[in-house]
C-alpha cells in the first residue's frame, strides 16, 4: 500500500463491505430524462415509422432513429437505477445495466484519476495484466470517506506522470535561470506559453 498523507482517510478493512449507488439527485435527473427519451422515441417510432405517409425508406430510417432514441432513454433510466459499486475488504464488485464485474483487490495494479475537459472527475482502476479491462467508476456515485480510503489505498499510477512533469518544470526553470532570466521573466514566459 502507498504511504498516506496525514489528511488522507485510512483504509480499515473492518469497515467493508460497503455499497455505493448513483446519488439521489442524479437519479432524480437521469431517470425522468431517460423515461422522457424512451417515451418520445417510441411515439416517434410509431408515428414516423408506421403511421407516416412517407416512402418506405424514409419511414424505415425515421423509425430506426426514433427507436435508437428510445433505447438510449431506456439505458439511461435503467443505468441510473441499477448501477452500483460494492467495495469489500479484498475486492470490488460493479453492477452495470448489462454487466456484472468482480475483481479481487490483489489483482488491481493501481488507480488513475481522469479529468475530462468539462472538469468531470472519475476514478479508473487498472487491473494487472491478463485480469481484464480497466474499471471506470461513475462520477455520479454518492460516496463517503470510506470510499475515498479504499480508492486512495491503491497504488497511484499517476504519480509517475506527476514526477516526470515536476522534473520537466525544474529542468525548464534551471535552463531559463542559466540563460539569465529572472523569476519575473520566467513567470511571464510561462503565462505566454499557456
- CB-CB contact of 132 with 101 (8 Å): yes
| Domain span including residue 166 | 159-193
| CB burial readout 100-117, b (16+ within 10 A) else e | eeebebebbebbbeeeee
- Total domains in the fold of the chain: 1
Q: What letter does residue 156 receive in the DSSP assignment?
A: B
Q: For residue 189, give the 3-state DSSP assignment.
A: helix
165 belongs to a structural domain: yes
pLDDT in tens, 76-109: 999 999 999 999 998 999 999 999 999 998 999 8
Judge whether 29 lies within some domain: no
The answer to whether residue 168 sits within a structural domain is yes
pLDDT tens digits along 21-49: 999 999 999 999 999 999 999 998 888 87
In angstroms, rounded to a whole number, what is the distance separating the alpha carbons of residues 75 and 69? 10
Classify residue 2: in a domain, yes or no: no
In a domain, 177, yes or no: yes
Please tell me the pTM assigned to this model.
Answer: 0.67
Q: What are the pLDDT digits (tens) for 146-190? A: 998 898 888 888 877 766 667 777 777 777 777 777 777 767 766
Alpha-carbon gap, residue 147 to 11, rounded angstroms: 9
Amino acid at each position: 500500500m502507498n504511504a498516506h498523507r496525514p489528511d488522507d482517510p485510512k483504509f480499515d478493512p473492518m469497515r467493508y463491505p460497503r455499497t455505493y449507488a448513483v446519488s439521489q439527485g442524479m437519479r432524480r435527473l437521469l431517470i425522468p430524462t431517460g423515461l422522457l427519451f424512451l417515451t418520445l422515441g417510441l411515439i416517434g417510432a410509431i408515428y414516423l415509422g408506421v403511421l407516416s405517409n412517407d416512402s418506405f425508406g424514409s419511414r424505415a430510417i425515421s423509425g430506426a432513429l426514433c427507436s435508437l432514441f428510445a433505447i438510449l432513454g431506456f439505458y439511461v433510466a435503467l443505468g441510473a437505477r441499477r448501477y452500483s459499486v460494492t467495495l469489500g475488504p479484498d475486492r470490488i464488485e460493479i453492477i452495470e445495466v448489462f454487466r456484472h464485474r468482480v475483481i479481487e483487490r490483489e489483482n488491481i495494479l493501481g488507480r488513475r484519476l481522469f479529468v475530462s475537459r468539462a472538469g468531470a472527475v472519475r476514478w479508473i482502476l487498472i487491473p494487472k495484466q491478463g485480469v481484464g479491462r480497466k474499471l471506470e467508476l461513475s462520477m455520479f456515485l454518492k460516496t463517503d470517506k470510506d470510499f475515498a480510503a479504499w480508492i486512495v489505498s491503491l497504488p497511484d499510477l499517476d504519480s509517475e506522470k506527476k514526477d516526470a512533469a515536476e522534473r520537466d518544470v525544474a529542468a525548464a526553470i534551471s535552463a531559463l535561470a542559466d540563460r539569465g532570466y529572472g523569476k519575473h521573466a520566467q513567470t511571464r514566459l510561462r503565462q505566454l506559453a499557456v
